[in-house]
Amino acid sequence: MATLELEGVTTRYGKVVGVEDLELTVGDGEFFVVLGPSGAGKTTTLKSVAGLVDMDAGRVSIGGRDMGGVEPYHRNVAMAFESYALYPQKTVFENLASPLRSGRTGTYDKAEQSKRIELVTTTLGINHLLKRFPRELSNGQRQRVALGRVLVRPADVYLLDEPLSHLDAKLRAAMRAELKQLGEDSSTTSLYVTHDYQEALDLGERIAVLRHGRLVQVGTPEQIWREPADTFVAKALGQPEINLLDGEVTGGRIVAAGGAVSLPVPSGVDVGDRVRVGLRPRDLDRADADPDGGAHRAGAERLHLRGRVHLAERLGRLVELSIEVGDTEIIMVAGSDHAPGEGDVIDMAIDLADVHLFAPGAPGEETARLGSGRPR
Partner 1 sequence: MAREMMPGRRRFTAGSVGADLLILLWFVFSLFPIVWMVLLALKTRSQQTSTYFAFSPTLENFGTVMSRRGEDLTSVNFSGALLSSVLNCGGAVLVSLLIGIPAAYAAGRWKYRGSEDLMFQMLSFRFAPELMVVVPLFVIYNQTGLFDTTYGMIWVLQLVTMPLVVWILRSYFQDLSPELEQAALLDGYTRRRAFVMVALPLVRPGIAAAALLAFIFAWNNYVFPLILTDSEATTVTVAVTKFLGGGGQAYYNLTAAAALIGALPPLVLALTIQRYLVRGLSFGAVKA
Partner 2 sequence: MTTAVTATDAAPLTLTDVRKTYLARGREPFEAVKGMSMDIRPGELIALLGPSGCGKTTTLRMIAGLETVTSGAIAIGDRQVQDLPPGKRDIGVGFESYALYPPLNVRENLAYGLKARRVRGAARQVDQLAARLEMSDLLDQRPASLSSGQKQRVALARALIRNPRVLLLDEPLSHLDAAQRQRVRRELKVLQREFGYTTIVVTHDQLEALSLADRMAVMNAGVIEQFGTPDEIYDDPANMFVADFVGEPKINLFEGTAVRRSGGTVVRAGRDGRLAAYAPAATDGQAVTVGLRPQDARPAHDDEPALAARVVVYEDFMEFGLATLEVPGVDGRIVAQLPHGVRWRRGETRRIAARPDRVYLFDTETGTRIR
Residues at the interface with partner 1 (CB under 8 A): 47, 50-52, 71-73, 75, 77-79, 81, 83, 85-89, 98-99, 102-105, 149
How many other CB atoms are found less than 10 A from the CB of residue 219?
18
The entry of partner 1, partner 2, none that residue 104 binds, CB within 5 to 8 Å by partner kind: partner 1
Backbone torsion region of residue 252, taken as left when φ is above 0, otherwise alpha when ψ lies between -120 and 50, otherwise beta: left
The pairs formed by 80-85 with CB atoms below 8 angstroms and a separation of 24 or more are: 80/143, 80/146, 80/147, 80/149, 80/150, 80/158, 80/159, 80/160, 80/161, 80/163, 81/146, 81/161, 82/43, 82/161, 82/162, 82/163, 82/165, 84/134, 84/142, 84/143, 84/145, 84/146, 85/146
Alpha-carbon span 142 to 160, nearest angstrom: 14
Torsion of Cα atoms, 103 then 106 then 109 then 110, to 10° = -80
Backbone torsion region of residue 104, taken as left when φ is above 0, otherwise alpha when ψ lies between -120 and 50, otherwise beta: alpha
Beta strands in 56-118 (DSSP E): 57-62, 65-66, 77-80
- Percentages helix, strand, coil for the chain (3-state, rounded to 5) are 25, 35, 40
122, 139, 181, 250: which one contacts partner 2 (CB under 8 A)? 181
Nearer to partner 1, 49 or 257 (CB): 49
10, 127, 198, 328: which one contacts partner 2 (CB under 8 A)? 198
Question: In the bound complex, what is the minimum distance in angstroms from residue 8's beta carbon to partner 1?
Answer: 24
Alpha-carbon span 149 to 105, nearest angstrom: 12
Q: Does 205 bind partner 2 (CB under 8 A)?
A: no
Q: Does 15 bind partner 2 (CB under 8 A)?
A: no
Contacts of partner 2 in 283-302 (CB under 8 A):
none
**Cross-strand pairs, 243:** 279
Stretch that binds partner 2, among 84-92, 137-145, 171-179, 254-262 (CB under 8 A): 171-179
Contacts of partner 2 in 240-269 (CB under 8 A):
240-241
Q: Does 138 bind partner 2 (CB under 8 A)?
A: no
Question: In the bound complex, what is the minimum distance in angstroms from residue 202's beta carbon to partner 2?
Answer: 4
The entry of partner 2, partner 1, none that residue 89 binds, CB within 5 to 8 Å by partner kind: partner 1
Q: Does 175 bind partner 2 (CB under 8 A)?
A: no
Nearer to partner 2, 225 or 358 (CB): 225
Q: Does 363 bind partner 2 (CB under 8 A)?
A: no
Question: In the bound complex, what is the minimum distance in angstroms from residue 96's beta carbon to partner 1?
Answer: 10
Question: In the bound complex, what is the minimum distance in angstroms from residue 135's beta carbon to partner 2?
Answer: 21
What are the residues binding partner 2 (CB under 8 A)?
Answer: 169-170, 173, 176-178, 180-181, 184, 198, 201-202, 221-222, 225, 235, 237-241, 282, 310-311, 313-317, 320, 322, 336
